[in-house]
Structure 1
Amino acid sequence: MKVKVQSLDGKAVTGKDADIELKDEIFGLEARPDILHRVVTWQLANRRAMARAARERSDVARTGKKFGKQKGGGTARHGNRRAPIFVGGGKAHGPRARLFSQSLNKKVRALGLKTALSVKAAEGKIIVLKDFDIKDAKTSAMKVSLDKLGVTGALFMDAGKAEAFTKAVRNLPRMNVMPTAGANVYDILNHDTLVLTKAAVETLEARFNG
């Protein structure tokens, strides 16, 4: 699949860098909603923090001595101060420590990422730029450039950090910048457009070929 390489000002690049070939084994797979669902579920489950356990009767450090008579006190019969009815006692039926992380086969994760890239390519939602090099990290100037490209909400990926570009983009709504090392299914699907540099395309292809 051939894609026109553009520059940040919205103009097509001329010469030998005018086109880039996106490999069909990475950007041309058929849509697999079942694989995408499995990978996104795995991602979101692993983002959840561990549930913290509450202290129950056996976990509270209070005396176990019986503090009142069995009869004649006019109140209920309690064995010790650890009972949930008392202030400082253990919690009745409190939450238990729980891990929500899941495991997923490495091949399924790789297939999910390739499928997400293929879905964006099939929808025509992939833009390839020559690079993210800019002179000044100005958000106003960046908004003008992105308007020329027709980008209203996008995930930008480069092989490096692109610090100046990141500073210019980060205050714009629905815009996020990520290195290719962090490429994942959820963020790709969660953005309307995927904007890649030539270096990012090469890095992604090398990642799967390796």
Structure 2
Amino acid sequence: MKLDVITLDGGTAGSVDLGDEVFGLEPRADILHRVVRWQRARAQAGTHKVKTRSETSYSSKKIYRQKGTGGARHGDRNAPIFRKGGIYKGPTPRSHAHELPKKIRRLGLKHALSAKAREGSLVVLDEAKGSGKTAELARKVSSLGWKRALVIDGPEVDEGFARAARNIEGLDVLPSVGANVYDILKRDTLVLTKAGAEALEARLK
């Protein structure tokens, strides 16, 4: 697959050949769904917690005698049936993460890249470098028509470009090692630098 390479100023900088084994696959929704679900499950905090009857703040004294009142038998006010009592079988802190084979994770990233290439939302950038000025980069991004874009650079992101992009709404920057299915799919435009494209091909081949 051959794509034109552009610059941040909107000019052209030649073309690049992208491997079909990474960017030319037929995207499968089931693979993408499995990987995104795995990612979001790992991101859940899992800190949800309720108090049981042993943790609520109330007297543990028996509220009235066992027999002779005409009412039901009760122990203390911490029982789940009482207001402000403990919760029975409520949520406790736990990890939501589950296993997913490494082959499926790699395949999911290939399918995400191929999906962006197939729908024409993949852009190859010569290089992502900047002076660190947000206003300057914002003008360039606006002229290129990027509203919700993810920029994936090489092994390291240029510090000036990352600082300038930090305050631009809808623009995210990641190194190639941080490329993932969820971030790629949730943005309208995927921007790869030449170094980023080479790093991803080397990682996924």
Q: Normalising by structure 1, what TM-score?
A: 0.84
Alignment correspondent of 1:46: 42
Is 1:130 matched with 2:103? no
Give the Cα–Cα distance (whole angstroms) in 2 for the partners of residues 172 and 8 of structure 1: 15
Alignment correspondent of 2:51: 55
- What amino acid sits opposite 2:191 in the alignment? V
Give the Cα–Cα distance (whole angstroms) in 1 for the partners of residues 194 and 160 of structure 2: 18
1:134-145 equivalences in 2 (<5 Å): 134=130, 136-145=131-140
Give the Cα–Cα distance (whole angstroms) in 1 for the partners of residues 191 and 109 of structure 2: 15
Give the Cα–Cα distance (whole angstroms) in 2 for the partners of residues 12 and 86 of structure 1: 70
Quick check: 106-115 or 161-170, which moved more?
161-170
Give the Cα–Cα distance (whole angstroms) in 1 for the partners of residues 58 and 188 of structure 2: 57
SS state at 1:57 partner: coil
Q: Go from structure 1 to structure 2 and tell me whether the alpha carbon gap of 1:63 and 1:145 turns closer, same or farther (over 3 Å shift).
A: closer
1:4-83 equivalences in 2 (<5 Å): 4-13=4-13, 18-58=14-54, 66=62, 68-71=64-67, 77-80=73-76, 82-83=78-79
Quick check: 165-174 or 114-123, which moved more?
165-174
SS state at 1:177 partner: strand
Is 1:164 matched with 2:157? no
Identity of aligned residues (%): 48
SS state at 2:173 partner: strand
CA offset digits 1:67-92 (Å, max 9, x no partner): 643346687643245434375x5334
Which runs of no fewer than 5 residues in structure 1 stay unpaired?
none
Cα RMSD after superposing both structures: 2.5
Alignment correspondent of 1:195: 191
Q: Normalising by structure 2, what TM-score?
A: 0.85
Q: Go from structure 1 to structure 2 and tell me whether the alpha carbon gap of 1:72 and 1:39 turns closer, same or farther (over 3 Å shift).
A: same
SS state at 2:190 partner: strand
Give the Cα–Cα distance (whole angstroms) in 2 for the partners of residues 146 and 86 of structure 1: 57
Give the Cα–Cα distance (whole angstroms) in 2 for the partners of residues 57 and 144 of structure 1: 59
Alignment correspondent of 1:175: 171
Quick check: 191-200 or 75-84, which moved more?
75-84
CA offset digits 1:22-75 (Å, max 9, x no partner): 011001111211211111122122221215342323556987664643346687
Give the Cα–Cα distance (whole angstroms) in 2 for the partners of residues 149 and 91 of structure 1: 55
Give the Cα–Cα distance (whole angstroms) in 1 for the partners of residues 56 and 144 of structure 2: 62
Q: Go from structure 1 to structure 2 and tell me whether the alpha carbon gap of 1:65 and 1:152 turns closer, same or farther (over 3 Å shift).
A: closer
1:84-123 equivalences in 2 (<5 Å): 84=80, 85=82, 89-123=85-119
Which runs of no fewer than 5 residues in structure 2 stay unpaired?
none
